[in-house]
Structure 1
């Protein structure tokens, strides 16, 4: 069997880097990947400003009991006058610091009466002033090409005046489920049928990663149905994911269907549980990844094997989330010839340690475990693992984003 790390590396390298870019309005850029490196256009803050509602003074003017006549009331967005010696200017949070002032006294630290301000306690020089450029300086690199944009990145870009950015076009993914035993949710179902959960699940996983599930097709186990589905998927998509139909049974027809389009299917037996059967093919330089038909297995394989490929094809700079570790909380003993990926829920102890509790039923048909779990714990092959063992943890919040 192909070891897991080799399979993951091969899949991560199976797709090309994106070449199509487009201009995207900043308020629509969440989940997009930058196709250019961006730099600061101005200092942030662009001018010294007040961090508090208060009064601007020249610190050298302060003396106990001295009253400061209020020269001006300057709201945020109003240009202040130059501060005259011995005076104060009333400021509000965000107000520009007047020329000549070097300290802001909080309004709570004094009293204003008869248009003059009395300071109750000695202020520290430079207090409550946000200095120009203390956050970002003009010309500084903000984000490198390949950065995934989220709310935090968009906030910083907006603060620099960017109204639009150049991003890679959203990756177009096609999903194909197969099997005469499957019926679509909402349709009549006989005893011999089960509802198709893979199509909707994979579409949700793809969309959550910022890609587009442009087709979610189902094909019966016939050559004509599969050929028609692949024609559509290969025409419209950058990446194709199939589920089921790649074994050696009489109705496992995905392999010959791919070969009809000039592709060669490389079927792997990956040393992982769940999710041993995985296949990879290319048609016209477009990757086709064939996942196992069991929904739990398809979910696990997508999470740890397919997402690095997807990120790479999106143009992201980081395709592997950083590793995490936790300790198992279980009465069971694990020692399998394949690496196991347990559905677990992570919780932190008061000491800040991560504990991983496996779902009671780890069978590959237990779909309820997917919504319960916060991630996957990786149990090494041919290694006894018991209570308290430290194991790698694949947090779904990171691996499926």
Structure 2
């Protein structure tokens, strides 16, 4: 064991206050790149002479790219040096962001958005890495890093909205490139090396990842549920940009970005649902969190032109979506200590593919039925999500396997 790892194991407090905080910031800065585009789609469309549907695909390609990156790259976290993998992907991300600054045509922007998604995979390599670094305080450590991811996702909208309003949308990606390069240097200096556990080939690694789907029913249920709830999340944040900038409200990009602050508040409340899950009450946690998603969407249906209701609905929606994810993490990380990266791959790949599909259907509904049809699509998906929770609950009762697993899952 090298000196860096010796210091890491001997000084847990320094890890929690220093290294884990750095990992949380790095994960947030990385994942934010997928969401910078959402509040500035209108401005990007005007600059690139693209239609609403064409520019909306920027979000879709970023999310699909993220899903692809997670499926093909994240499993490597169980096979190769995670630190080296993270640094390589971050450098690639910085290069793609610089290219985005100079992008001219919509097709080029689509391609770069896909690459941004793929190269943002380190956010999901860092999360299971944090879980393996601190087994004593795993819940707390994962919670800190996950909070960084949430703040990155939600804060990105605030940042991009203000930068675009004052400087233009291309500066969003230029500034992001600088932040990514900065965090890469810091990770190079302070992130510990972690010995990989998988010794087979890459093909065997992918095969073993897919075998986890067949092996763990909890993983399958959690991934499908996550896909539907994140699909709602992405559908909402893509179409609400057009709605808030349209005749009903007429807000500019900086104002739309401020709604992200409301979402951050909701995300910071969501981790408290992890305490319910830690006590073994994952079904109760999921019913409450998905129920909050349904409630928020019904409020939007009943009061479509109220700013106050929009704020309340966003707050409740983000609590529901993020609490669902935290509960799902609690379930899947207890399945196999040696396969955290691969478990994360299955869950998060499905999760973000659901986000991409949700964005696609949201844009389709916006094109043919505006905000009314878009919100009906989200309500439908939320009811499907609740059905998944209820169905899995009934099946769990029928299938009484090992008491320890029942308690955890």
Does TM, scored on the shorter chain, surpass 0.5? no
Considering Cα pairs closer than 8 Å and 6+ residues apart, tell me whether 1 or 2 has the greater RCO.
2
Higher-Rg structure is 1
Q: TM-score, normalised by structure 2?
A: 0.21
Structure with a larger share of its residues in strand: 1
